[in-house]
Amino acid sequence: MQLLTLTAGLGLLSLVPAMMPPLSPATTEKLLGKWHIKRWAGDMPIPEWRWKDPLPPFTFERNGLDELEFRMNLTKPIGCIQYKLPLYEGEDPGTFLTWWRHVIYIHFLPGKSFAIAYFRGKMNYQYYQMMMLMGRTLKADPDAPRIFKEFVMSKMPQTGKIIIPPHVEACELVQDS
């Protein structure tokens, strides 16, 4: 399940409380490169059969306009599609805005090889939250999942189910030149 595709499709501007320690606000420079989605959680109405969808790695790159861009190659019935989402650094440290002015919070865990991304938005008059733990490698880490779990419990004490998506390699785009 492509979290950001979903979150990008949502309604209004979100208002979000601060992240908790020991997280530190991410900057464009330090986000660049490849990331894996290690865990995610959220209370959007995503059918349970999609929870086990394998997720490919994604990258943060600078696009031609020198802005940060989220990119993920997704396998679709018609082939390999590159999903792109430009993000603009917000005024508050660690905030990134989409074209639709959704605010996505990205904060690093100590060491900066893991980060938590958080989004809260409104859909059909109801607020939804999505959050993910992203990591630079596929290696297991004892601390990052624990910090993510605390984070999830702080945002969704009732429904804090954490999903560990299977990984899949990114598909290869067919160059259309």
One-letter amino acid identity for 130? Answer: M
Return d(Cα 11, Cα 34) in angstroms, integer. Answer: 28
DSSP 3-state of 53: coil
Tokens of 124: 């059909």
Binding of ligand NAG by 57 (CB under 6 A)? yes
Written as six digits, the tokens of 112 are 């900066």
| Residue with Cβ nearer ligand NAG (56 or 121) | 56
Q: Which stretch binds ligand NAG (CB under 6 A): 43-51, 99-107, 122-130, 166-174?
A: 166-174
The verdict on 94 binding ligand NAG (CB under 6 A) reads no
The sign of the CA dihedral 82, 136, 51, 152 is negative
Where does this chain touch ligand NAG (CB under 6 A) — which range of 10-18, 108-116, 125-133, 169-177?
A: 169-177
With CB under 6 A as the contact rule, which of the stretches 44-52, 66-74, 84-92, 116-124 interacts with ligand NAG? 66-74
- Asked whether the beta carbons of 73 and 172 are under 8 A apart, the reply is yes
- Indicate whether 71 belongs to the interface with ligand NAG (CB under 6 A): yes
Which residues are at the interface with ligand NAG (CB under 6 A)?
A: 57-59, 71-73, 82, 170, 172-173
